[in-house]
Amino acid sequence: MKKLGWLVLAFSFNAMAGEVVNYSSNGIALEGYYAPAQQDAKGSVILIHDWDGLTGYEQKRVDMLSSMGYNTFAIDLYGQGNRPVDTKAKKEEVGKLYRDRAKMRGLILAGLDKAREMGAEDVVIAGYCFGGAATLELARSGQGSGIKGYATFHGGLATPNDQSYPKNTAPIFISHGGADSSIPMSDIADLSEELEEADIPYLIEVYSGAPHAFTVFESPRYREVADKRSWATFTSFLEENL
């Protein structure tokens, strides 16, 4: 019954409780998804999609955060209508942005600017898988005002050789699967050393038996315990920083 209860929670929100928002970045048409707080607003969350692009999964997470009192905007890093389906196409899309990190950061900042237009002030940036890596890319850049925290769920953690975290970086929450074969535990160790050296507040949670993408509902990789625990910690993280 516990599993059923959690799944009902995740899927009980109207898939379109929010609205599609069109915006642009350097001439690139983008399509995000926004849902205002369904109670007195506690702050705002910017959500960055995984390598599928912005799909129903991110919409569900946006609606969940909206119900908790956060104005939430899932931003688009691929472009309007660009939602790759097969693995090859997904690799190509993320590859383009990893090879042009300035463009990646510009797309995130365009989403942040759009959120500001919709009333966002203090924000937490969060992302899943590729979106987690993009979240940390922005954190290392030091760009963007009013950012109160960063959160990554089973995201890429490695720091490029020419980058580092500024000492004034906002707190970071990292959730990672202990059975993640895509992102090694050595990346966790390296990141913790980097953040300690830069004196940046951080929290790392590792969930035993959880593979990569353990939060994706109805996926063979989904792990209920890890999903619930990471979401509970994320909830506390938001309450502490917004």
| Whether the predicted pLDDT of 181 surpasses 60 | yes
Average pLDDT over residues 162-181: 97
Print the domain residue range for 130.
2-241
Domain count within the chain: 1
**Which tens digit of pLDDT belongs to each residue from 143-154?**
999 999 999 999
Query: Do 211 and 180 form a contact (C-beta atoms < 8 A)?
Result: yes
Q: According to the model, what pLDDT value does residue 220 have?
A: 97
Phi, psi of 207 (to 5 degrees): -110, 120
pLDDT confidence tier of residue 141, bands split at 50, 70 and 90: very high
pLDDT confidence tier of residue 16, bands split at 50, 70 and 90: low
How big, in percent rounded to 5, are the helix, strand and coil portions of the chain?
A: 40, 20, 40
Question: Residue 136 maps to which CATH number?
Answer: 3.40.50.1820
